[in-house]
Amino acid sequence: MSQILFVLTGAQHWTLADGTRHPTGFWADEAVAPYEAFKAAGHQVTVATPGGVVPSVDQASLSADANGGQEAADRVAAGLDAFVELGQPLSIEDVRIDSGGGPAGYDAVFYPGGHGPMEDLATDSDSGTLLVRTLASGRPLGVVCHGPAALLAAHTQQGASAVYGYRLTAFTNAEEHETGLATKAKWLLQDRLVESGAHFEEGRPWEPHVVVDRNLVTGQNPASAGPVATEIIKMLG
């Protein structure tokens, strides 16, 4: 049995270029599908957020349209209700680092998305430090959809991006355009990750796409969350 740390956004909105607050949070199935996979494999999950706030789900992620039908939406909602650890989060800053250089007591770290990470985790230094240490420790790190926004806050002691030279993926510019939010955003995630020196690998919009480079496992979109969890389970053995 392994211990897996889920790091979720604490944001309830995403500030757009004109100052408008777009309601958001974490994307439900990007948390539920991996959670169910990890629990089914016998692993334990702990949740952490900035400041230890109880994370908010993006209500749009619970709709029938977002889940391919009402039956699937009901399944996600039920899975969210079963994810009891969401109500008892740690503060990211309280996650200790052990002698191996990684997060103490955890064998893997997982970041789901939703637009929330664009608001808070993209500039959260505690999360950035956790990501740097996890990458350096060799422990599996899974990051999905807009979750890779958190990687923008991860820098080495020399000031370089911690994912410079890494192959990875995330929610693409094309997908953001299809949401209708690309022209309203202050910045786009794919652009920022490319600027950080990462080698961005883009799959077809909305189809599962996972990139594995060393201990970093990234997924492009909500459909990629379950496959990312599968890769982490393989790494954990």
Q: pLDDT by residue (tens digit) across 48-90? A: 999 999 999 999 999 999 999 999 999 999 999 999 999 999 9
Report pTM. Answer: 0.97
Cβ contacts of residue 71 below 8 Å, gap of 6+?
Answer: none
DSSP category for residue 98:
-
Average pLDDT over residues 193-213: 98
Confidence (pLDDT) at 100: 85
Residue located via tokens 């994912």:
163
Helix, strand, coil percentages in the chain from 3-state DSSP, rounded to 5:
45, 20, 40
Average pLDDT over residues 192-218: 98
- In percent, the amount of the chain with pLDDT more than 90 equals 98
Which tokens is 110 given? 């997982």
Average pLDDT over residues 214-236: 98
Residue located via tokens 């009901």:
74
pLDDT at 10 over 90: yes
**Residue 219 pLDDT class (50, 70, 90 cuts):** very high
Cβ contacts of residue 74 below 8 Å, gap of 6+?
Answer: none
User: What phi and psi, each to the nearest 5 degrees, are found at residue 57?
Assistant: -85, 140
